[in-house]
C-alpha cells in the first residue's frame, strides 16, 4: 500500500494550516497515482491556475514486484517552471532532475516538494510505502 498526502501552500497561506488531500492505493502491479492540475487523471490535484505544476506532474507507479517508483514527468516545455526535491525520512532533501524516476523502498516514507521558480508557492506531497 502507498499512502500520499498533499498540501498546497502560497505566500499568503504561510503560517496557516493548509488544506490536505489524501490518496492511497494497494501495491498491485500497474497501479498508478498521479499528482498534477488535471483533475480527470490526477488523484491529487492542485489549483487550476498554478501553472508551475504540469497537468500531470508526478506519477507514482507500482511495478511488477510490488515496489513503487515516482517519476517527474516531462511536460511540453524543455525547461520546467518548477523544481522538485525529494527527502526520504532521515535523509537530507535532494533535487530531483526533470524526467527522473526514483524507486521508493518498501517501508520508506518522505516528501516531495514542487516549488514554483517565480513565486513563493509550493506543493508538498508526503508518502508512506508500507513494508
**Residue 17: pLDDT band by 50, 70, 90 thresholds?**
very low
| Residues 34 and 56 sit within 8 Å (Cβ to Cβ) | yes
Rg (CA), the chain: 14
Angstrom distance (rounded) from CA 21 to CA 23 = 7
Is the model's pLDDT at 15 over the cut of 60?
A: no
Angstrom distance (rounded) from CA 50 to CA 37 = 8
- At 18 the pLDDT is 54
Provide the mean pLDDT of the chain: 89
pLDDT digits (tens, 9 = 90+) for 48-87: 888 999 999 999 999 999 999 999 999 888 889 999 999 9
In terms of phi and psi (left: phi > 0; alpha: psi -120 to 50; beta: otherwise), the region of 65 is alpha
Average pLDDT over residues 85-104: 94
pLDDT digits (tens, 9 = 90+) for 29-41: 999 999 999 999 9
**Largest Cα span, the chain:** 43
Amino acid at each position: 500500500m502507498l499512502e500520499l498526502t498533499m498540501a498546497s501552500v502560497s505566500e499568503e497561506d504561510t503560517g496557516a494550516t493548509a488544506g490536505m488531500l489524501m490518496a492511497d492505493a494497494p501495491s498491485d502491479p500497474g497501479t498508478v497515482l498521479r499528482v498534477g492540475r488535471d483533475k480527470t487523471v490526477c488523484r491529487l490535484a492542485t489549483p487550476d491556475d498554478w501553472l508551475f505544476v504540469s497537468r500531470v506532474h508526478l506519477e507514482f507507479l507500482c511495478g511488477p514486484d510490488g515496489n513503487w517508483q515516482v517519476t517527474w514527468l516531462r511536460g511540453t516545455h524543455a525547461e520546467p517552471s518548477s523544481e522538485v526535491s525529494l527527502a526520504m525520512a532521515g535523509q537530507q532533501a535532494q533535487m530531483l532532475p526533470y524526467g527522473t524516476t526514483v524507486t521508493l523502498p518498501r517501508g520508506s516514507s518522505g516528501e516531495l516538494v514542487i516549488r514554483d521558480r517565480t513565486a513563493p508557492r509550493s506543493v508538498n506531497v508526503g508518502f508512506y510505502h508500507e513494508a
